[in-house]
Chain A
Amino acid sequence: MIYDVVVIGGGPAGLAAAIKAHEEGGKVLILEQAEYLGGILQQCIHPGFGIHYLGEDLTGPEFASLFIEKVRSLNIPYILSAHVMKIEIMLPLAKKIQLIAPKGTKDIETKAIVYTAGAREKHGFEIGITGDRVSGIYTAGEAQSLMDLYGVMPGKRVLIVGSGDVGLIMARRLSLEGARVVGVVELMPYPGGLARNLVILRDFNIPLYLSHRVLEVHGRGRVERVKMARVNSKGKTIPGTERWIECDTLLISAGLVPDVRVLESLGIRIDPSTGGPVVNEFLETTAPGVFVAGNSLVINDLVDYAVEQGERAGMQAVRYAKNGGLPSMNWIPVEKGGNVRCVIPHYINGENEVILYLRARKPVKDATLVTGKKMHKIPVVTPAEMLRVKIKKEDITRPFKVEVSP
């Protein structure tokens, strides 16, 4: 059997892509490496999901179940415990997906692919933490999965590295369940999370160490203490400011990176500013017929955007499969102007309305977002919050530049 669209990854972006592709008349299959659908939403048990997409505030599992039930009611087939190892492009309309499942390896053929494998977390060694190899060092996601899927507490005295929303949300979960969070360490001079999550630090009396970095872990068998120090404005350790903090657990919440390992063998272009693939407005990568959405494309703070991207990718993947490809266009590159760290998509064709997702480099108050010839006033722009704007066809210029100015 040859599918029209195979979706790799059954998180919110993948489920949304599969539903859309099915509704557009495609023959669809979902491959998920975990034993359950829903992706990281199953372990994000706090509310805050679906405010834009549904106009309702749900917890992660509740939001996921809406999509899972839809997939089931539409009889869209899915395979669980199916880890995709490799993708090969044989011909433009013949792609081979190699997966490992409990029953062994298997090849699946499809015309188009939507890749929604989410993100991976940065580990301690990637942010320069050295020292003893001991137990008690977790990424935030590992700790979240332990606590909220398996009911296991990762430790009693916890130091958290990274003050982004993920780190703060874990600080709350750990404190609520009786652990002592002895501090949150942040390299930057300002906290990474949204104001509504920074309240957590106040609620549980958790010290925030700004402009600090964790250097070293010490312990025999288990984490016993952790060395941290102040950094200067260039992020360099200031000698003489080192000190040790007693804790039994170190939680690393140093950020997410799109997980594109499976795509790498296709030689697609990667954007260093997002860590994800370079895409056109159909969310198609530089490999024709391979689309990408959700956290594999760009780290989304909101599930709503991951779902929106999934729907777009799913729809375009069916169009690709049915028409034997998407017509190539005179692509207009989306140029990054001042204070824009990253923007999605990278190419637009000027013939449709498009949605841009972008992140600023620095916080700005009373900002103006300039997209082509259009200006949007935004009261507050922070790097912690992704911006989403819809651009009308008539507002697209050649060249097309995006800029955030004060």
Chain B
Amino acid sequence: MKYALTCIVCPLGCVIEVEIKNGEIISVANYKCPRGKEWAIEEILSPVRPFMSVVRVIGGIFPVVSVKSTGPVPKENMKDLTKLLSNVVLQAPVPAGTVVLHNPMGLKVDIVTTRDA
């Protein structure tokens, strides 16, 4: 199986080709620098993404407050994390930077608020 990935590490946007056999990478081609190669391998084996959502607040400035993960999370966990957060209800005041969930699903990140509520 061959994948063609547009590298997003820098604006050059090399189209990197990664070949996989039995879940293992057998070749990486068309990258112009090592950072791109590293990114492509990670993107195939364990893609991670920045995570953001909103959480309900009672008595806040808005009915919800924005949150983010303190580090990228695996792509496959994003939807479950959103579901988990839909059950959380905060009570205002909640200053920005408050930890809403600590190490959810063992992902080794925290979910923190990004604006005052």
Chain B interface residue bracket vs A: 20 to 34
- When C-beta atoms are compared, the residue in chain B nearest to A378 turns out to be B11
Tell me the minimal C-beta distance from B7 to chain A in angstroms: 8
Considering the complex, give the chain A residue whose CB is closest to the CB of B66.
A45
Inter-subunit contact B54/A65 (CB<8 Å): no
Interface digits, B61-100 against A, CB 8 Å rule (1 contact, 0 not)? 1111011100000010011001000000000000010000
- A385 CB contacts on chain B under 8 angstroms: 11
B89 to chain A, nearest CB (A): 11
Residue of B8, B12, B52 ringed by the most chain A CB atoms within 10 A:
B52
B50 within 8 A of A: yes
Residue count of chain A within 8 Å CB distance of chain B: 28
Q: Which has the most chain B C-beta neighbours within 10 Å: A61, A195, A196, A379?
A: A195
B11 touches which one: A42, A151, A203, A379 (CB < 8 A)?
Answer: A379
B6 close to A (CB within 8 Å):
yes
Chain B contacts with A in 33-67, Cβ cutoff 8 A: 47, 49-50, 52-54, 56, 61-64, 66-67
Asked whether, in the complex, the Cβ of B11 is within 8 Å of the Cβ of A176, the reply is no
Q: Tell me the bound Cα distance from A379 to B66 in angstroms.
A: 36
The answer to the question of B2 belonging to the interface, with a C-beta cut-off of 8 Å to chain A, is no
Say whether B19 faces chain A, with CB atoms less than 8 Å apart: no
Q: Is B115 an interface residue (CB 8 A)?
A: yes
Contacts of B61 in A (CB 8 A): 36
* Residue positions of B touching A, CB distance < 8 A: 6-8, 11-13, 47, 49-50, 52-54, 56, 61-64, 66-68, 75, 78-79, 82, 96, 114-116
Q: What's the least CB distance linking A180 to chain B, in Å?
A: 12
Determine, out of A25-33, A122-130, A142-150, A272-280, the stretch whose residues face the partner at the interface. Answer: A142-150
List 22 A–B pairs whose Cβ atoms lie within 8 Å, in order of A's numbering: A36-B61, A42-B115, A45-B54, A45-B67, A46-B50, A46-B52, A47-B52, A59-B66, A59-B114, A61-B66, A64-B115, A148-B66, A150-B62, A150-B63, A178-B79, A178-B82, A196-B8, A199-B6, A203-B47, A203-B75, A380-B13, A385-B11
Closest 3 CB pairs of A and B: A151-B64, A61-B115, A45-B66
Q: Contact check: which of B6, B47, B78, B96 meets A62 at CB < 8 Å?
A: B96
Interface residues of A in 53-83 (CB under 8 A from B): 59, 61-62, 64-65
Contacts of B52 in A (CB 8 A): 45-47, 59, 173, 176
Q: Are the CB atoms of A176 and B114 closer together than 8 Å?
A: no
**Contact between B53 and A176 (Cβ–Cβ < 8 Å)?**
yes
- Check if A198 is an interface residue, CB within 8 A of chain B: yes
Whether the Cβ atoms of A151 and B56 lie closer than 8 Å is: yes
Point out the residue from A47, A59, A195, A380 that lies within 8 Å of B8, measured CB to CB.
A195
User: How far is A194 from B56 in the complex, measured between Cα atoms in Å?
Assistant: 31
Interface flag for A351 (CB, 8 Å): no
Asked if A176 meets B50 with Cβ closer than 8 Å, knowing A62-B114, A65-B116, the reply is no
